[in-house]
Structure 1
Amino acid sequence: MHDVIINATPVGMKWDVRLPINLEAFNFSTLVAYIAVLDLQTELLKAAQAKVCMTTAGNDMLRARIKLITGFATGAPVGTEISGCQ
């Protein structure tokens, strides 16, 4: 079993590509995450959601990076929440 599965590659972004992981190797407590921001449901994300895993298609990471970059650009301390930055 795996606790965390992170895909930071383009592997699996096309419907006909086989994944280099056994989809049976995770359960409901596994976090499945993509580093790239995706607007699509990959086979990996669909399989994880079918097993009621926690998933992210990269949008959570993007929002966090935007907050950090905005704070840096405005001179705010690292991690400062910037109003209106979602």
Structure 2
Amino acid sequence: MSVTEFPPLLSQDDCQKYKVPLKWRDRCAAYFALYQTCLIRKSANSSVDCHHDKHSWEECENLDLIKRQKELKEIKAKRREEIGN
């Protein structure tokens, strides 16, 4: 599965419920919560495999980084145009 869009944002209550650290409360927090839930299940049953959940979360974080870099480039280009005019 390839992550191509961001999941709906988690509410503050959900972030607390799934114990999402503040630094991971971003557009990909839902994937992080799924991964954390899987890790908890894995601690109870070692046969559970969380690679897919981890991959989805990491892929979402990468997509978010690329999107933020693109937005920053656009902002810089817009400012250059404003200064040049």
Q: TM-score, normalised by structure 1?
A: 0.33
Relative to total residues, which structure has the larger strand share, 1 or 2?
1
Q: TM-score, normalised by structure 2?
A: 0.33
Relative to total residues, which structure has the larger helix share, 1 or 2?
2
